[in-house]
Amino acid sequence: MTVTIRDLRPLDPADVEAVVRIRRAALPFMISTPAGVAFELASAPAARHARILVAEDGAGQVVGTAQIGIAHDSTEPNRAFANAQVDPAHRRRGAGTALLRAAEEHLAACGAVEVYAWVLDEEPARAFAERHGYRSSRSAHFLRLDLSAAALPPAPAELPAGVELRPGSAFADDPRPLFEADAAASADEPGDVPPLLDDYEDWLRTVWSDPELDKELTSVVVVDGAVAAFTAARTDGASRYGSAMTGTVQAFRGRGLAKLAKADSLRRARAAGYREAFTGNDTGNGPMLAVNEWFGYEVCATEVRYVKPLPGPADGDGEGAADDVAVALSKAGRTKIRYPARVLSDDGDRITVRARWAAGGVRDFGFVRFEPGDVFTEHYWRSRWYAVKEVRTGGGVLKGWYCDITRPAAVAGGEIRVEDLDLDLWVSADASAVLRLDEDEFAASGLAARDPGAAAEAVRALDALDRQARTAEGLRALLD
Spell out the residues 6+ positions from residue 399 whose beta carbon is closer than 8 angstroms to its own. 368, 374, 391, 392, 393, 428, 429
Would you tell me the crossing angle of helices 34-43 and 13-26 to the nearest 10 degrees?
A: 110
For the domain made up of 4-112, the CATH class stated in words is alpha beta
Q: How many CA atoms lie within 13 A of 8 on its CB side?
A: 27
CA proximity to 405, closest of 388, 382, 393, 427 = 388
Average pLDDT, the chain: 90
Does residue 407 contact residue 420 with C-beta atoms inside 8 Å? Answer: no
pLDDT bucket at 320, cuts 50 / 70 / 90: very low
pLDDT greater than 50 at residue 382: yes
Does residue 282 contact residue 316 with C-beta atoms inside 8 Å? Answer: no
Least confident range from 293-297, 338-342, 432-436: namely 338-342
Phi, psi of 8 (to 5 degrees): -60, 140
Is the alpha carbon torsion for 168, 170, 174, 177 positive or negative? negative
Strand ranges of the sheet holding 298-309, from the earlier edge strand across to the other edge: 4-7, 51-56, 62-70, 79-86, 114-120, 298-309, 135-146, 276-282, 240-248, 226-235, 219-223, 163-167
- Residue 257: what pLDDT? 95
Q: Max CA-CA distance within the chain?
A: 91
pLDDT bucket at 419, cuts 50 / 70 / 90: very high
- Residue 421: what pLDDT? 94
**pLDDT over 90, % of the chain:** 66
**pLDDT over 70, % of the chain:** 94
pLDDT greater than 50 at residue 318: no
CATH 3.40.50.1480 is held by the domain 324-479: no
pLDDT bucket at 202, cuts 50 / 70 / 90: confident
What are the pLDDT digits (tens) for 212-237? 999 999 999 999 999 999 999 999 99
Least confident range from 213-217, 308-312, 336-340: namely 308-312
Cβ-count burial of 333 within 10 angstroms (0-12 exposed, 13-18 middle, 19+ buried)?
exposed
Does 324-479 match 4-112 at the fold level? Answer: no
Least confident range from 85-94, 235-244, 339-348: namely 339-348
What are the pLDDT digits (tens) for 112-132? 888 999 999 999 999 999 988
β-strands 135-146, 398-406 pairing: unpaired
- Residue 321: what pLDDT? 42
Does residue 48 contact residue 70 with C-beta atoms inside 8 Å? Answer: yes
CATH 1.10.3080.10 is held by the domain 146-299: no
Least confident range from 58-62, 146-150, 187-191, 298-302: namely 187-191
pLDDT bucket at 464, cuts 50 / 70 / 90: very high
pLDDT greater than 80 at residue 243: yes
pLDDT bucket at 193, cuts 50 / 70 / 90: low
Q: Any idea what the Cα angle at residue 229 is, between residues 224 and 234, rounded to 5°?
A: 135
Predicted TM-score (pTM) of the model is 0.63
What are the pLDDT digits (tens) for 40-90? 999 988 888 999 999 999 889 999 999 999 987 776 778 899 999 999 999
pLDDT greater than 50 at residue 293: yes
Domain ranges of the chain: 4-112, 146-299, 324-479
- Residue 322: what pLDDT? 43
